[in-house]
Chain A
Amino acid sequence: MGSITLEHVNKSFGGVEVIPDISLEIADGEFIVFVGPSGCGKSTLLRLIAGLEDVTSGRILIDGEDVSRAAPAQRKLSMVFQSYALYPHMSVRGNIAFPLKMEKAPREKIDQAVNNAAAILNLTDYLDRKPRQLSGGQRQRVAIGRAIVRQPKAFLFDEPLSNLDAALRVAMRLEISELHNKLKTTMVYVTHDQVEAMTMADKIVVLNAGRVEQFGSPLELYQRPANTFVAGFIGSPRMNFIDGAEAARHGAHTIGVRPEHLVVTPEGGDWSGVVKVSEHLGSDTFLHVDVDGIGALTARAPGDVPFRHGETVGLSPMNGRLYRFDAQGLAL
């Protein structure tokens, strides 16, 4: 069991209010991702749940029990830190066994749990090495191993993949998702990378300046963004926003259309513009088009479109794929 409830959680450092008021329900077994730009309070929120920071006001409940004032160890959560925070003088075995040793578990139980965790994480051959003799991905797995041995109510991940290179990040992303499928334990994962959020999460919490902008499944966020912030943050390349007369024509203050929902034609179309840059990725081509009276738009076209710098193209939004926002940025 591992449901986590936040009730009107508020956190201030000195006079600075980092998190004004957040309420959130995380069900048992869910994979929740906190995503947002740096400084949005996502790490602080995770540390509040972990008990590494005290809430200024409000309550945190784990399995219905108020733990707002409980010490980190009493909350029975495990955390994987951004720097991994492995103990450098202990072997991999010592690191993974440490939480059980602190619980004064019997020797055989510790050995069994460590071997089990090592098998799951492919660390069996490295158990006697020191952390400094391991690669980044292996250290990451040791940190995860240390987190899983004591069978916590939930896992907390604080940007665990940000120190890895791109290829390894994709591999570890898959491993963490597989681990979640295997263990079915609640996971709370913090990242600034919306791709990680979209690919791993059951539900995403989009945070901005300490506020929850939207809470929902990845596709919900993609298809029905609540406001311009979420619309711009989720999806890559980001959504095109158009203000002014063109937006007014659609009865909105701002309209948004995603690059993949723009149809590119040699001529005609709703808007016509000049190609500034065309990025050929092989599978796709991203066209950066300068449209008169609207500004720069990004469009995603198939990989083999022939358009080049300086050519004129027509762009039209797909039917029903146009998002309309009011003056406050809220979806209409």
Chain B
Amino acid sequence: MATAQTRMAARFMMAPSVIALLIWMIVPLSMTIWFSFQWYTAFRAPEFTGFDNYAYFFANPNIWTVFLNTLILVGGVLAITLVGGTLLALLLDQPIFGQGLVRLLVIAPFFVMPTVSALVWKNMLMHPVNGLFAWIAKVLGFSPVDWFAQVPLFSVIIIVAWQWLPFATLILLTALQSLDEEQREAAGMDGAGPIALFFYIILPHMSRALTVVMLIQTIFLLSVFAEIFVTTNGGPGVATTNLPFLIYLQAQFQYDFGLASAGGIVAVILANIVAIFLLRVVGKNLEA
């Protein structure tokens, strides 16, 4: 848009949606901030208490375990989906029989609701008595693993990673397919074998897509809730409690909306810190 006239018109016409979006975001956020400074439970009228809620929130003896759980969950799922997604994308890029069907099947987990997939994993795969994994272990002569009791956080990571793998695969496959065929041929003529081709040509080409996948997934993985709620309920102890789940516990069982709001604001701040950190580390990949 070149002239002052068209710029004005554009702004004027975009204004309604921009304002609607702003209200949509600002009202809940400012209400949460407001509640976080109130002594506000289900049984009494709200009353201003300053930073007391934050002090209580951080006074929780489990708070650092919860922070750590949150970061391990995000990091673990990211590691599995980025590595697995890259390998799957390389596989799906090969001309294979029934390519369309295979691609559809790979994408399918993304369409399954988190609660449903968590239930399937809990009752049909990881169940220590009836589960498929337990049956395989017994057939092979091992004693079955009680997944949610012995390696609870790892189990949750696997379930969440299974759900996000299709997303990563899809984006990375698209990136892979946009690689210029002549560049592969040139690298081949220059003497690059398959492994050198991957590390010198394919991986740098996919770096931007990897960055995008990483940023988008981080935002969603910081707020994983349904999988934990359905499988472990945050336990055993607080072994699988992450920040959103802790906030839920406080709002649900202690009826302390002020404290939960303070937790929510802490979660927002944590998400921003992680996002800024990631943008610093990998953000240069996004510059054209």
Residues of A within 8 A of B (CB): 50-52, 71-73, 77-79, 81-83, 85, 87-90, 98-99, 102-103, 146, 150
Contacts and interface: CB of A to CB of B under 8 A. Distances in A.
B185 A85 contact: yes
B191 A99 contact: yes
B205 interface: yes
B188 A73 contact: yes
B185 A102 contact: no
B178 to A, nearest CB: 12
A99 B187 CA distance: 8
Contacts of A78: 189
B191 A85 contact: no
Contacts of B205: 88-89
Given A72-B185, A82-B182, A83-B182, 6 more contacts: A52-B185, A52-B189, A79-B186, A102-B192, A103-B191, A150-B191
A51 B182 CA distance: 13
Contacts, number: 56
A72 B200 contact: no
A50 B186 CA distance: 10
Contacts of A87: 183, 186-187, 200-201, 204
B196 A81 contact: no
A134 B192 CA distance: 25
B196 A102 contact: yes
Interface string B189-225: 1111000100011001101000000000000000000
Interface SS of A by simple majority: loop
Interface string B165-189: 0000000000000001011011111
Interface of B: 180, 182-183, 185-192, 196, 200-201, 204-205, 207
Contacts of B186: 79, 81, 85, 87, 146
Nearest to B285: A89
Given A72-B189, A73-B189, A81 B182 contact: yes
Contacts of A99: 190-191
B201 to A, nearest CB: 6
A2 to B, nearest CB: 15
Contact of A102 (B180, B190, B204): B190
Given A87-B200, A89-B205, A98-B200, A81 B185 contact: yes
Contacts of B188: 52, 71-73
A98 B190 contact: yes
A150 B204 CA distance: 24
Nearest to B204: A89
A305 B205 CA distance: 59
Contacts of A71: 188
Given A81-B182, A85-B182, A87-B183, A102 B189 contact: no
Contacts of B196: 102
Nearest to A146: B190
A40 B177 CA distance: 29
B181 to A, nearest CB: 9
A98 B191 CA distance: 9
A97 B56 CA distance: 60
A311 to B, nearest CB: 52
B185 to A, nearest CB: 5
Contacts of A89: 204-205, 207
B200 A85 contact: no
A79 B189 contact: yes
A94 to B, nearest CB: 9
Contacts of B189: 50-52, 72-73, 77-79
A161 to B, nearest CB: 16
Contacts of A81: 182, 185-186
A73 B190 CA distance: 6
A90 B192 CA distance: 15
Contacts of B191: 73, 99, 102-103, 150
Of B182, B190, B191, B196, most A-chain CB atoms within 10 Å: B190
A137 to B, nearest CB: 19
A71 B205 CA distance: 24
Contacts of B192: 73, 98, 102
B67 to A, nearest CB: 36
A89 B183 CA distance: 12
Contacts of A52: 185, 188-189
Contacts of A150: 190-191
Nearest to B192: A102
A85 B179 CA distance: 11
Which 3 A/B pairs are nearest by Cβ-Cβ distance? A102-B191, A85-B186, A85-B182
A87 B200 CA distance: 9
Nearest to A99: B190
Contacts of A51: 189
B188 to A, nearest CB: 5
29 contacts: A50-B189, A52-B185, A52-B188, A52-B189, A72-B188, A73-B188, A73-B190, A73-B191, A78-B189, A79-B186, A81-B182, A81-B185, A81-B186, A82-B182, A85-B185, A87-B183, A87-B186, A87-B187, A87-B200, A87-B201, A87-B204, A88-B205, A89-B205, A98-B187, A98-B192, A99-B191, A102-B191, A146-B186, A150-B190
